[in-house]
Amino acid sequence: MRGQYIRILNSWKEETAALTDAEKGRLVDALIDYQITGQDQQPEGNEKFIYPLMADRIRRDNEVREQKKAERQEARNK
């Protein structure tokens, strides 16, 4: 199950400092689309260089969320 949100880390401010506001907006849109669909997006501007790193963070967050959910379900079934 895909998450209902993405975490936006404070470090993203520094990591995206070289991007324009438009590129940052497209990056956030692509990350939201990734979270909703689970399919990698293909950003076209400079955001394409940082998208894979941020999408990987979202992927890991989703894996951790699913693992915790499974552990809680297992504990309930005991």
pLDDT tens column, 22-65: 999 999 999 999 999 999 999 999 999 999 999 999 999 999 99
pLDDT at position 4: 86
Helices and strands of the chain, counted as H and E runs: 3, 0
The percentage of residues in the chain with a pLDDT greater than 90, rounded to a whole number, is 77
Contact 55, 34 (CB under 8 A): yes
What average pLDDT does the chain have?
92
**What are the tokens at 43?**
């950003």
Contact 19, 50 (CB under 8 A): yes
